[in-house]
Chains A and B, each alone.
Chain A
Amino acid sequence: MVSLSYPDTGALSHSAVATRASGAAHITLEALSKRYPGQAVDALHNIHLQIQRGEIFGIIGRSGAGKSTLIRCLNRLEEPSGGRIVIDGTDISALTSRQLVEWRRSTGMIFQHFNLLSAKTVRQNIELPLRVAGVPAAERARKVDALLALVGLESRQHAWPAQLSGGQKQRVGIARALVHDPELLLCDEATSALDPETTRAILALLMKINQQRHITIVLITHEMDVVHDLCHNVAVIDQGEIIERGPVWQVYSDPQQETTRQLLNPDHQTLPESVASRLSDRRLQPDDRLLLRLRYTGRGAQPDIGALSALIPGEITVIHSAIEWVANKPIGQMLVLLDARHEAQAVTPQLAHIADQLEVSGYVTGY
């Protein structure tokens, strides 16, 4: 038969052991591995990782690289097959299931698809974790009010989740994840279902939470910009292994691994092979053509081909173009080859206003 057990708040004493010193290791993964039953290879293999208290740590990788498994191991939504997960001095992998329930209340998590309860209002969704933890009504109301204010949803507190936009839903998800004043927030592709503008707003909110509440944030994403805009440190995961790690500026400016370079440089994915194979960062031949990447991020620049050709005489070849219109703003990028006479230093100041971001990808030989 089914056995039921009852909450035992005295069962766990990890908070007494916890150290709150900033800069100390908050999470330590030692030889963490995970293999799904019936699979021949590890989904995670021998992961060693340290995440400092108060930092925003990004884990990036392609889909299927194992990043989702990794973050889900951190609160044991996924049971690790081997290794240790030490968070705040507590070995998470050794907790009994009842201790685990208590422990999870000190860790918030937000999800790609928000996972809000459709049968509960915004307010009830945020309040429910406190209710099941037996928090008195007055304190629940106080906490929920404060969190609604933090995420800016006071006016929508009695709405049903189905009546909210994606960004608002994620705000509810964030408020709900913070009800127990966690010291750790896990973000599982938290912005992947949102448009770029909403993504920026949610990232700003996460940054505010990190700064005001000194919460350690671990996030996984396949979106390079998210890591770039938000994280202090980053780990790159590929085929279940961490292949590169370090401060974001370092990994982004000087990636050591080919996989990281490919992740960071979407040109590799969008360039035809004939262009990619002839791309170099210097002019090798007199007739090499300059490859520019024009990025449109919705900050005002218009993808105006006429304006571009008015400024840059000669042939302009569009190699790739992917622009979406979100809320009447162009989002995306365009890759163009300019005529051979143009030098990077000469054209970039001229073109500064033609796109929201302008990058010189290099020179292409014999095109």
Chain B
Amino acid sequence: MSQAIDRLWSALLDTLLMVGVSSALALALGLPMAVLLVVSGRGDLFPNPALNRVLGWMVNLFRSVPFLILMVALIPFTRWIVGTTYGVWAAVVPLTLAATPFFARIAEVSLREVDKGLTEAAQAMGFHRWHIVWHVLLPEARPGIVSGFTITLVTMINASAMAGAIGAGGLGDLAYRYGYQRFDMQVMVTVIVVLVALVTLLQLCGDRLSRRLNHR
């Protein structure tokens, strides 16, 4: 029994590690990408239609490939980056590449929803363009960005289970090997309960934080 608990615990840690690292990277890469997508649009703060098109095209490309296929297709790239195609760190590569454009699109929507009047007022007051990004767009979009990041986290937990199934470890791996291959319902049910608890907790924290940041 204690062996089973140990297995569950280490699988949970693996999942948290995979999701945590890839989501942190997605935040660090996706947010600047979202800002670029917004401000490089025609007639916006830093108009650059070519960059805008390339970026939008890249985001669409990665978003349109199902995660399972993306993971397999990225195997050579993953091996080149982390030196292996097996285990938690190997899963971080495709997870990050899936999460970044996903989060970038959601953050982009929040940034676009910022009232144009605010940008205009800031221009009228003598803000430089990067001041507007930093002091107007990002703070005003913050509640939406936090909600979007929560959605990204939950989606990544989902995807990490898929990564587990092809040998990345974590809760998905546990459920697949014991629940699917050995018909161990108890393990299956336990994993489901842990996942539901994890997602519920994340969603709750995300909603709370977003509400606290929202003064509209």
Q: How many residues on chain B are close to A (CB under 8 Å)? A: 28
Q: Which residue on B lies nearest to A125, using beta carbons?
A: B121
Complex contacts, A101 vs chain B, CB 8 Å: 126-128
Partner of B51, one of A1, A108, A129: A1
**In the complex with contacts A102-B126, A105-B126, A113-B117 CB distance below 8 A:** yes
Residues A109 and B118 in contact in the complex (CB < 8 Å), given A2-B40, A4-B130, A118-B215 = no
Residues of A within 8 A of B215 (CB): 118-119, 160-162
> Do B136 and A117 touch (CB < 8 A)?
yes
Q: Bits for B13-54, please: 1 = Cβ < 8 Å to A, else 0.
A: 000000000000000000000001001100000101001000
Q: Does B61 contact A (CB under 8 A)?
A: no
Closest B residue by C-beta to A4: B130
Total residues of chain A contacting the partner, CB 8 A? 35
- B126-139 interface bits toward A, Cβ cutoff 8 Å, 1 = contact, 0 = none: 11111100011001
Give every chain B residue within 8 A of A107 (Cβ-Cβ).
Answer: 124
Chain B interface secondary structure, helix, strand, loop or mixed? helix
Q: Does B60 contact A (CB under 8 A)?
A: no
Q: How far does the alpha carbon of A117 sit from the alpha carbon of B115 in the complex, in Å? A: 10
B35 to chain A, nearest CB (A): 10
Interface residues of B in 116-161 (CB under 8 A from A): 117-118, 120-121, 123-131, 135-136, 139-140, 142
Q: Is A176 an interface residue (CB 8 A)?
A: yes
Given the interface pairs A118-B216, A132-B131, A160-B215, the reply to whether A77 lies near B118 with Cβ below 8 Å is: no
Asked whether A120 lies within 8 Å of B139 as measured between CB atoms, the reply is: yes
Contact with B along A94-125 (1 / 0, CB 8 A): 00000001111101110101010111100000
Chain B residue with the shortest CB-CB distance to A2: B46
A4-B130, A7-B128, A101-B126 as given contacts; A119 in contact with B48, CB under 8 Å: no
Query: Beta-carbon contacts of A128-151 to B below 8 Å, as 1s and 0s?
Result: 110111000000000000000000
Q: Please give the distance in Å from A272's CB to the nearest CB on chain B.
A: 39
B213 CB-CB contact with A under 8 Å? yes
A2-B40, A111-B117, A160-B215 given; A77·B125 CB < 8 A: no
List B77-123 residues whose CB lies under 8 Å from chain A.
115, 117-118, 120-121, 123
A5 interface residue, CB < 8 Å from B?
yes
Chain B residue numbers with a CB within 8 Å of A131 are: 135
Smallest distance from the beta carbon of B25 to chain A beta carbons, Å? 22
For the complex, give the distance between the alpha carbons of A132 and B215 in Å: 22
Task: Pick the residue among B40, B120, B130 that contacts A115 (CB under 8 A).
Answer: B120
Of all chain B residues, the one with the shortest Cβ separation from A186 is B124
Q: Are B121 and A111 neighbours in the complex by a CB distance under 8 Å?
A: yes
Chain B residues near A7 (CB-CB < 8 A): 128
Contacts from B to A (Cβ < 8 Å): 36, 39-40, 46, 48, 51, 115, 117-118, 120-121, 123-131, 135-136, 139-140, 142, 213, 215-216
What would 30 A/B residue contacts be, using CB atoms closer than 8 Å?
A1-B48, A2-B40, A2-B48, A2-B51, A7-B128, A75-B124, A101-B127, A101-B128, A102-B126, A104-B124, A105-B126, A107-B124, A108-B125, A109-B121, A109-B125, A111-B117, A115-B121, A117-B118, A117-B136, A119-B140, A119-B142, A119-B213, A119-B215, A120-B139, A129-B127, A133-B126, A162-B215, A176-B125, A177-B125, A180-B126
